[in-house]
Amino acid sequence: MHSVDANLLLALDALLREGSVLGAARRMGLSPPAMSRTLQRLRDATGDPLLVRAGRRMMPTPRAIAIRERVHVASSEVRALLDKAADLDLSTLERTFTVRGNDYLLGVIGQRLDVRVQSEAPRVRLAFLPEGTEDVEALRSGDVELDVGVQSQLGPELRVRKLFEDKMVGVVRKDHPLGRGRLTPKRLASVGHVVVSRRGKGRGSLDVALEALGLARRVERIVPTHFAAAWLVRESDRMAMVPGRFAAQVSGQLGLRSVPLGIELPPLAIALAWHPRYDADKPHAWLRECFYRVAQKLK
């Protein structure tokens, strides 16, 4: 690529991240025909197709995959430089932010966040992705711009800002025997459990705490979301361990009862995480502040 302007670099980043002309056009605020012409200019400049059709989808070429991360880093620098030259006008800001978080977080802060973003920056689009297995790499590559959740194993270069804490509770159907009387560790271990794990693992902090007392629970179901766990326990004798704010939101709707676990567990610390390339990115900083302000209003 010998001579390209900044807009071409930003367009290339959008194309490689969206994997489609339509998605890239929406991200850049262009018409699809205009983005198609831009893609052709990029193909001419690089001497590579960059994106090739595979059925109804477009797939990146090996060359596109090789340069994708460097292009994203460079485009982030360009945005930061251009942002310094002008104040951020949220009313005209057109940008898609890729945010990773689970159903619990969307249930707890999603509506309030949506109202705030819509009122301040009505042209901004938020693309929420489910939690995956390659947490750090997605942040480093820019595939995920902001991660919201429990930040336990992150690279040392990543930024983290705490939002709020929650405590884990048990949920059972409304007429479950565990809803009557004090829930002791022994009673807790006597029932089948539904475990929430995006990686399919059935072991967690509750197992460690029970083992310290010489007890073990029976994990009978493993599901990827808290909503799935709640639906399973509402028609069974099992229980699920979920964050307290999530339980408070869904228990009444689903006919569930929230019960204290009767065993000491560390609090659930929810935080934002992002790559430092976005430190000077004004729109990104604004979105981070939106999350923080919304979280501070939680009771």
pLDDT the model gives residue 62: 92
Q: By the 8 A CB rule, do 277 and 163 touch?
A: no
What top-level class would CATH report for the domain 168-266? alpha beta
CB atoms within 10 A of CB 3: 6
Give me the pLDDT at residue 280, please.
82
Residue among 279, 19, 262, 225 at smallest CA distance from 103: 225
Choice between 136 and 255, residue whose per-residue pLDDT is larger: 255
Give me the pLDDT at residue 1, please: 45
Name which of 252, 230, 231 is nearest 241 in CA terms.
Answer: 230
pLDDT band at 292 (very low <50, low <70, confident <90, very high): very high
Q: What is the pLDDT of the chain when averaged over all its residues?
A: 89
This model's pTM is above 0.85: no
Q: Rounded to 5 degrees, what are φ and ψ at 212?
A: -65, -20
Q: Which residue has the higher pLDDT, 138 or 37?
A: 37
User: What local confidence, expressed as pLDDT, does residue 134 receive?
Assistant: 56
Distance CA 288, CA 274 (A): 9
Give start-end residues of each CATH 3.40.190.10 domain in the chain.
96-165+269-296, 168-266
197, 222 contact by CB (below 8 A): yes
Distances (CA, A) of 176 to 161, 170, 179, 266: 39, 12, 6, 26
Burial of 216 (0-12, 13-18, 19+ CB in 10 A): exposed
Q: Which phi and psi angles does 298 have, rounded to 5°? A: -70, 145
Each residue's pLDDT tens digit, 243-268: 999 999 899 999 999 999 989 899 99
Q: Confirm if 171 and 257 have CB atoms less than 8 A apart.
A: yes
Residues carrying CATH 1.10.10.10, the chain: 6-84
Looking at domain 96-165+269-296, does it have CATH number 3.40.190.10? yes
pLDDT at 49: 93
Please write the tens of the pLDDT for every residue from 160-219: 999 999 999 999 999 999 888 888 999 999 999 999 988 788 888 999 999 999 999 999
- Span 147-168, mean pLDDT? 87
Q: Please, what's the b/e burial string for 248-284 (b: 16 or more CB within 10 A of its CB; e: otherwise)?
A: ebbbeebebbbbebebeeeebebbbbbbebbeebbbb
Give residue-wise pLDDT tens across range 34-87: 899 999 999 998 999 999 988 878 899 999 999 988 888 888 777 777 665 457
Tokens (6 digits) for 148: 């919201």
**132 pLDDT above the threshold of 70:** no
pLDDT of residue 88: 83
Q: Please tell me which residue, 63 or 130, carries the higher pLDDT value.
A: 63
Residues 93-116, mean pLDDT to the nearest whole number: 91
pLDDT band at 6 (very low <50, low <70, confident <90, very high): confident
The whole-number pLDDT of residue 141 equals 79
The alpha helices in the chain, defined as continuous H runs, are 6-18, 21-28, 32-46, 62-84, 103-105, 111-120, 135-141, 185-189, 205-211, 226-233, 244-254, 282-296
Element containing residue 96 per DSSP (H, E): strand 96-100
| % the chain with pLDDT above 70 | 95
Mean per-residue pLDDT for 112-118? 96
The pLDDT of residue 13 is above 70 = yes
Class of domain 6-84: mainly alpha
